[in-house]
Amino acid sequence: MVSGGELLPASCPLELGLPGDNSAPSGKAVIIDESCPSGPLDIVGEVMEMRDQIEEVLDRLRPMLMADGGNIELIDYKDGEVFVTLVGACGMCPSSTMTLKMGVERALKEALPEVKRVVQV
């Protein structure tokens, strides 16, 4: 195994190494490929990039929500699921489920094919 900080070639197959095993000396989740000479790839940057892309889509939706006295907060993104909280007037609105599914989820799926569903928490 080669020390961390190096990038995997695009052709290498990937496996997820978990924090705490010896393949992740930084304690972060890393992508491990035993057959590639370059070793582990830190995936934290990929997750942060996806969160930034999700925030960009939500930023385009926020003016409509704010016009009705509400807003939306991104809580987390994991395995194709976006976890959000509707706040303000949107949090108590009887139409919040429709807003979430037909507005937020539709916009996120159109912009980011990796998104599979949106969950309100």
Residues 53 and 37 in one domain: no
pLDDT on residue 47: 65
Which range marks the domain in which residue 115 is found? 45-120
71/18 same-domain check = no
Give the pLDDT confidence of 21-65 residue by residue, as tens digits.
444 444 444 444 455 554 444 555 566 789 999 999 999 999 999
pLDDT for position 109: 96
Q: 94-99 long-range contacts, Cβ below 8 Å, gap at least 24? A: 96/120, 99/65
| 56 and 106 co-located in one domain | yes
What is the pTM assigned to this prediction?
0.63
Q: Rounded to an integer, what distance in angstroms lies between the CA atom of residue 121 and that of residue 21?
A: 31
Nearest CA to 30 out of 14, 13, 17, 49 is that of 17
Provide mean pLDDT across the span 90-119. Answer: 93
pLDDT (0 to 100) of residue 45: 59
Q: What is the pLDDT, as a whole number, of residue 92? A: 87
What type of residue sits at position 89? Answer: A
Residue 55 and residue 33 in one domain: no
- The domain tally of the chain equals 2
Please name every residue paired with 30 in a beta bridge, in sequence order, or none if there are none: 17, 42
What are the tens digits of pLDDT across the range 70-87?
999 999 999 999 999 999
